[in-house]
């Protein structure tokens, strides 16, 4: 199953993506995608990443007169960027130069469509807001999780996401995740273990071992959306 984790900035997308990735990785081949240029999914997962998609795009720019079939070159390179572990990780990274961002996105879209089918589960930690949907980068997902907290702003963003998904005719099912016990189709409790991990720079996935309520909440999501057969 392919899942996109969306919502307003600061609601908990990265934390929830990381926890879900870790939880789900024992059930099948799993790929986590950090599609937020400002994100830190790798750190939160405790994975060191050497190269990002943006780095490969940069290299492509430098060599653009030498490389004839850019799509093929890019596709071959992207395999080097995928970090392999108990789960695989692909980090989009930050743009290095002005104007190349649309290009990264269109390449990422093409590449993702090709690689996602090699995995049982794909979890995409999205950039805040609605652009990733309007750019149609993630049309292939089965499920869109919209993370909200108790703020009205985060609910407003969630509403806009739901409207946009309808407007664009995206087929994915949408579920609202109420983080820190906000209302939603699923709730994730506030977890001191999560805060502690982040404070100490320990992979946040450790919190799953320490906080039984948190683990149960993540399991509930995985089962509820059909990632794990109940």
Q: Which residues lie near ligand ADP (CB under 6 A)?
A: 7, 9-15, 179-180, 188, 190-191, 194-195, 198
Minimum distance, C-beta of residue 66 to Mg ion, in the bound complex (Å)? 36
Which residue is listed with tokens 């993702």?
112
Question: Which of 7-15, 59-67, 87-95, 192-200 is the region at the interface with Mg ion (rule: CB under 5 A)?
Answer: 7-15
∠ CA(5), CA(75), CA(165), 5° rounding? 30
Minimum distance, C-beta of residue 65 to ligand ADP, in the bound complex (Å)? 38
Among residues 134 and 213, whose Cβ is nearest to ligand ADP? 213
CB-closest chain residue to Mg ion? 14
The binding track of 32-71 with respect to Mg ion, each residue x by CB under 5 A or -, is: -------x--------------------------------
Among residues 25 and 39, whose Cβ is nearest to Mg ion? 39
- Among Mg ion, ligand ADP, none, the one that 190 touches (CB under a kind-dependent 5 to 8 A) is ligand ADP
Among residues 121 and 191, whose Cβ is nearest to ligand ADP? 191
Among residues 58 and 219, whose Cβ is nearest to ligand ADP? 219
Minimum distance, C-beta of residue 37 to ligand ADP, in the bound complex (Å)? 12
DSSP string, 119-188: -SEEEEEEPSSSHHHHTTTTTT-SEEEEEE-S-HHHHHHHHHHHHHHHHHT---EEEEEEETT-SSSEEE
Tokens found for residue 37? 């240029």
Among residues 56 and 176, whose Cβ is nearest to ligand ADP? 176
SS3 of residue 30 by DSSP = strand
d(C-alpha 219, C-alpha 157), whole Å: 25
Minimum distance, C-beta of residue 48 to ligand ADP, in the bound complex (Å)? 19
| DSSP 8-class letter at 63 | T
Laid out side by side, the sheet with 186-188 consists of 88-91, 30-35, 121-126, 2-7, 143-148, 173-179, 186-188
CB 188 within 8 A of CB 18: no
Q: Is 14 in the site for Mg ion (CB under 5 A)?
A: yes
Residues lying near Mg ion in the complex (CB under 5 A): 13-14, 39
């Amino acid at each position: 199953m392919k899942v996109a984790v969306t919502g307003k900035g600061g609601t908990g997308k990265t934390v929830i993506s990381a926890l879900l990735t870790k939880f789900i990785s024992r059930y099948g081949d799993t790929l986590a995608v950090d599609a937020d240029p400002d994100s830190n999914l790798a750190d939160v997962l405790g994975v060191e990443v050497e190269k990002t998609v943006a780095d490969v795009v940069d290299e492509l720019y430098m060599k653009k007169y030498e490389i004839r079939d850019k799509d093929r070159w890019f596709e071959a390179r992207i395999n080097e960027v995928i970090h392999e572990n108990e789960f695989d990780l692909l980090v989009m990274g930050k743009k290095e130069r002005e104007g190349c961002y649309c290009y990264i996105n269109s390449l990422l879209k093409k590449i993702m469509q090709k690689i996602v089918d090699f995995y049982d589960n794909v979890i995409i930690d999205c950039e805040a807001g609605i652009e990733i949907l309007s750019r149609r980068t993630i049309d292939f997902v089965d499920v869109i999780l919209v993370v909200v907290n108790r703020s009205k702003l985060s609910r407003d963003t969630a509403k806009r996401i739901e409207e946009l998904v309808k407007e664009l005719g995206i087929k994915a099912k949408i579920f609202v995740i109420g983080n820190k016990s906000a209302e939603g189709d699923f709730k994730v409790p506030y977890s001191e273990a999560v805060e502690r991990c982040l404070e100490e720079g320990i992979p946040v996935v450790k919190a799953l071992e320490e906080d039984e309520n948190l683990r149960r909440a993540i399991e509930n999501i995985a089962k509820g959306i059909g990632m794990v057969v109940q």
